[in-house]
Amino acid sequence: MRPEVLFPLFRPINTLKGIGPRLAALIEKLAGPHVVDVLFHLPSGAIMREEIETLTPQHLTRQIIIKTQVIKHHPSRSRRVPYKISCLSGDEKLTLTFFNGREDYLRRALPEREERIISGKLEQFSGSYQITHPDHISRINETADIKRCEPVYPLTAGVTSKTFHKALIQALEDLPHLSEWTDPHLIGRQNWPKWREALQASHNPNTISDLEPENLVRQRLAYDELLSNQVALELVRRSMRRRKGRRFEGKDGLITQIENALPYSLTHAQQSALSEIFADMHSDNRMLRLLQGDVGSGKTAVALMALAKCVQSGAQGAMMAPTEILARQHIESIKPFIDAAGLNVALLTGRLKGKKREALLEEIANGNIHIIVGTHALFQDDVIYHDLGLAIIDEQHRFGVHQRLSLSAKGRPDKGGVDILVMTATPIPRTLALTAYGDMDVSIIGEKPPGRKPVTTRAIDIARLDDLANSLSRKLADGERIYWVCPLVEESEVIDLAAAEDRYEYLNRLYPGHVGLVHGKMKADEKDAAMQNFKEGVTKILVATTVIEVGVDVPEATVMVIEHSERFGLAQLHQLRGRVGRGGLEGSCLLLYTGPLGETQKARIKIMRETEDGFRIAEEDLRLRGAGEFLGTRQSGMPVFKLADLAHHSKLLNVARDDARAFLEQDPELNSERGQAIRTLLYLFERDSAIRYLSSG
């Protein structure tokens, strides 16, 4: 239950005065549904104003605050002419100009012969000083109302900065006093303000530099959020540790059989990842492990061996892929070896229906099928396993912590539940990995199988499309295959799709009958057919939206053309590039752009040309785009931070992790005074679902 002290912060926005349902809906979209979300919506900039006594040309175009005497109103006689008010500041004339100004309001706000303090941007108009639509008008004794440094917030249409302020000021008034959750030594060392003061200060900057991530106020707030993230993950991790897992035992016969059937021997990197996985499986801890390896590093073989270990001890293994195409590819690549070992493997996807599905579910339930490969369909309610021991989730930066855990529910508690191995080809920068996978142990395959040639990367102006397209004929004559990616972006899917179809037709005119098209709007079997044709070489150029992004293996593919390469993150470009040059032939990756290139784009291309190290690319991507953009964080299951900025606060993240670990070691049930405060912190950042992982529930 949410602590009472937080109630004022979790009121809905429409309980604030002056915020009706329409505005509340807009603010909710902008910041979130509760008062606390308004408070956590921090300013992104500020307007600095200079308080001056006399107008001089040197103040032109600047934001100023000045005292002025109202002389005379000149209401407008037509819509096209603005309402003007002549004033005098010292000896200088100043005109205040209002388009569509309402006379009654203006006469009340700026009565003739009275003095007012006004602020706004100073301009010059037909030789005299002018301020158009002053930001503030106040009486002489109310100057405190005008801020020398006014914070500016990211806003959306329909929410003006005035309205947002109105909500914010009320929210700040109700700010509760919360007990300190952060280690007092750390606070002392860092010289951080208290939470309440920090939040107030964050909305009342004195200078632009107060808004920088390195500012003490911002650091403090970021740390709170990171600490809540790390405590939550640590609670999950500890709870996994507490639950007894299964010891996978039995002779290594199957593993040896499969290893012998492989046409290659495992690399050192694969072997060492595997021995970490086996160590988890042998122990009675429950495995929750992340296997990171760049595209083409050979994760599938590692997965296969882990499945063998699982089946060998009498349990079933499941492997889940994010798409049907990938699930099919997995089963194709592992089936020969599983067959060789005399085991049964089956594919279960959403497409399997009716009698066939029932029959398969029956075989899964009675244990006839040893290894099940599929999509999300693997974990639907009516899928009952005889004895699921290991779940492998491939390419899964689409799941959150709790989804990972719900998979374990498919196992048999009496046998020790399900071990989980998550595989990802997306090199996740260390900082992000900590926030998303801090509950997991990590193995890394840091070396690729031998014999792979580097892929050359070039940027090409779209104006040279014809040259490029014609130059492909030689490659095609040599039997090489080409991916041609036309990305879809959400806002204009129809237009994008049309662009992909146009490109398909254009290429098909040049190479009739040799071009295929695959996109997300196609039916599953049409997609499969298009992919299959490309694999078999029936088509030699495959125009695709991003469906091939996550791992289809076609050894003959040597060229990757990426249109609108600026729409992809570097990590995604790297993934796409990893699709070519797999079969021992030299690969190339051509990044098409619409010129001229900006600085960031040049930097991006430079990085892509310089390195094929996925981790380095990911770090650079994070640096160039910020964590919010990285991988499209919201959809990716990566946590979203409101106050922390991982591009700047990664040091704090490490501190938070050490702090969370050390503290929970001392007070695993969050019972101490600081423990109680940390509970409140979890609720404050809505990470309270982690509280159920306390052993006392």
CB of 304 to ligand ADP, least distance (A): 9
- Candidates 8-16, 122-130, 294-302, 608-616: pick the segment binding ligand ADP (CB under 6 A): 294-302
Q: How far apart, in whole angstroms, are the C-alpha atoms of residue 590 and residue 613? A: 18
- Candidates 16-24, 277-285, 290-298, 610-618: pick the segment binding ligand ADP (CB under 6 A): 290-298
Q: Which among Mg ion, ligand ADP, none contacts residue 35 (Cβ within 5 to 8 A by kind)?
A: none
CA-nearest of 440, 395, 430, 400 to 299 is 395
Residues linked to residue 138 through DSSP beta bridges, in sequence order: 117
What are the tokens at 556? 């003959």
- One DSSP character per residue, 207-270 reads SGGGGSTTSHHHHHHHHHHHHHHHHHHHHHHHHHHHSB-----S-SHHHHHHHHHSSSPPPHHH
CB of 673 to ligand ADP, least distance (A): 48
Residues linked to residue 120 through DSSP beta bridges, in sequence order: 64
Choice between 232 and 295, CB closer to ligand ADP? 295
CB of 268 to ligand ADP, least distance (A): 9
Choice between 446 and 449, CB closer to ligand ADP? 449
- Is residue 119 near ligand ADP by the rule CB under 6 A? no
Choice between 218 and 582, CB closer to ligand ADP? 582
Contact set for ligand ADP, span 199-228 (CB under 6 A) = none
- Is residue 446 near ligand ADP by the rule CB under 6 A? no
- Is residue 301 near ligand ADP by the rule CB under 6 A? yes
CB of 314 to ligand ADP, least distance (A): 26
- Is residue 449 near ligand ADP by the rule CB under 6 A? yes
Query: What 3-state DSSP class applies to 518?
Result: strand
- Is residue 443 near ligand ADP by the rule CB under 6 A? no
- Candidates 142-150, 266-274, 464-472, 616-624: pick the segment binding ligand ADP (CB under 6 A): 266-274
Q: Which among Mg ion, ligand ADP, none contacts residue 266 (Cβ within 5 to 8 A by kind)?
A: ligand ADP
Q: Are residues 421 and 250 in contact, defined by beta-carbon separation less than 8 angstroms?
A: no
What are the tokens at 342? 């005399």
Choice between 34 and 309, CB closer to ligand ADP? 309
Q: Which among Mg ion, ligand ADP, none contacts residue 485 (Cβ within 5 to 8 A by kind)?
A: none
- Candidates 296-304, 404-412, 462-470, 648-656: pick the segment binding ligand ADP (CB under 6 A): 296-304
- Is residue 299 near ligand ADP by the rule CB under 6 A? yes
CB of 167 to ligand ADP, least distance (A): 48
- Candidates 97-105, 295-303, 477-485, 584-592: pick the segment binding ligand ADP (CB under 6 A): 295-303
- Candidates 151-159, 291-299, 431-439, 678-686: pick the segment binding ligand ADP (CB under 6 A): 291-299
CB of 293 to ligand ADP, least distance (A): 5
H or E element: which one contains 445? strand 441-445
CB of 290 to ligand ADP, least distance (A): 13
Q: Are residues 664 and 234 in contact, defined by beta-carbon separation less than 8 angstroms?
A: yes
The length of the chain in residues reads 697
CB of 270 to Mg ion, least distance (A): 13
Q: Tokens 């021992």 appear where?
A: 584
Buried residues in 557-590 as b, exposed as e (16+ CB within 10 A) = bbbbbbbbbbebbbbbbbbbbbbbbbbebebbbb
Choice between 299 and 481, CB closer to ligand ADP? 299
Query: What 3-state DSSP class applies to 462?
Result: helix
Q: Which among Mg ion, ligand ADP, none contacts residue 293 (Cβ within 5 to 8 A by kind)?
A: ligand ADP
CA distances from 513 to 222, 433, 471, 500, 533 (A): 56, 45, 18, 17, 11
Q: Which among ligand ADP, Mg ion, none contacts residue 298 (Cβ within 5 to 8 A by kind)?
A: ligand ADP
Q: Which among Mg ion, ligand ADP, none contacts residue 287 (Cβ within 5 to 8 A by kind)?
A: none
CB of 448 to Mg ion, least distance (A): 13
| 177 contact partners, CB below 8 Å, separation of at least 6 | 5, 196
**# chain residues binding ligand ADP, by CB under 6 A:** 16
CA distances from 247 to 313, 384, 386, 409, 592 (A): 9, 22, 17, 18, 52
CA-nearest of 49, 38, 46, 48 to 15 is 38
CB of 276 to ligand ADP, least distance (A): 16
Angle between helical axes of 524-536 and 324-340 (0-180°, round to 10): 60
CB of 553 to Mg ion, least distance (A): 8
Choice between 392 and 436, CB closer to Mg ion? 392
CB of 378 to Mg ion, least distance (A): 17
- Candidates 205-213, 259-267, 342-350, 584-592: pick the segment binding ligand ADP (CB under 6 A): 259-267
Site string for ligand ADP, 409-428 (x = CB under 6 A): ----------------x---
Residue among 55, 109, 295, 334 that touches ligand ADP (CB under 6 A): 295
Q: Which amino acid does the sequence have at 535?
A: K
Residue among 12, 197, 264, 658 that touches ligand ADP (CB under 6 A): 264
Residue among 553, 645, 667, 686 that touches ligand ADP (CB under 6 A): 553
Choice between 75 and 449, CB closer to Mg ion? 449
Q: What count of other Cβ atoms lies within 10 Å of the Cβ of residue 626?
A: 14
- Is residue 396 near ligand ADP by the rule CB under 6 A? no
Residue among 43, 120, 193, 298 that touches ligand ADP (CB under 6 A): 298
CA distances from 76 to 68, 71, 82, 697 (A): 21, 16, 6, 70
- Is residue 581 near ligand ADP by the rule CB under 6 A? no
Degrees (nearest 5) of the Cα angle 84, 89, 93? 50
What are the tokens at 370? 């040893």
Site string for ligand ADP, 467-506 (x = CB under 6 A): ----------------------------------------
Alpha carbon 66 to chain centroid distance?
45
End-to-end CA distance of the chain: 12
Choice between 193 and 296, CB closer to Mg ion? 296
CA distances from 34 to 7, 323, 519, 567, 686 (A): 10, 36, 39, 33, 11
Closest residue to Mg ion, Cβ-based?
Answer: 551
CA distances from 484 to 541, 569, 589 (A): 7, 17, 10
CB of 284 to Mg ion, least distance (A): 30
Q: Tokens 């099928």 appear where?
A: 369
Choice between 502 and 536, CB closer to ligand ADP? 536
Choice between 131 and 440, CB closer to ligand ADP? 440
Q: What count of other Cβ atoms lies within 10 Å of the Cβ of residue 219?
A: 23
Q: Are residues 116 and 138 in contact, defined by beta-carbon separation less than 8 angstroms?
A: yes
Q: Tokens 């010289």 appear where?
A: 191
Q: How far apart, in whole angstroms, are the C-alpha atoms of residue 169 and residue 161? A: 12
Q: How far apart, in whole angstroms, are the C-alpha atoms of residue 660 and residue 210? A: 28
What are the tokens at 344? 């049964």
Q: How far apart, in whole angstroms, are the C-alpha atoms of residue 88 and residue 71? A: 7
Site for ligand ADP, rule CB under 6 A: 264, 266-267, 270, 293, 295-301, 425, 449, 551, 553
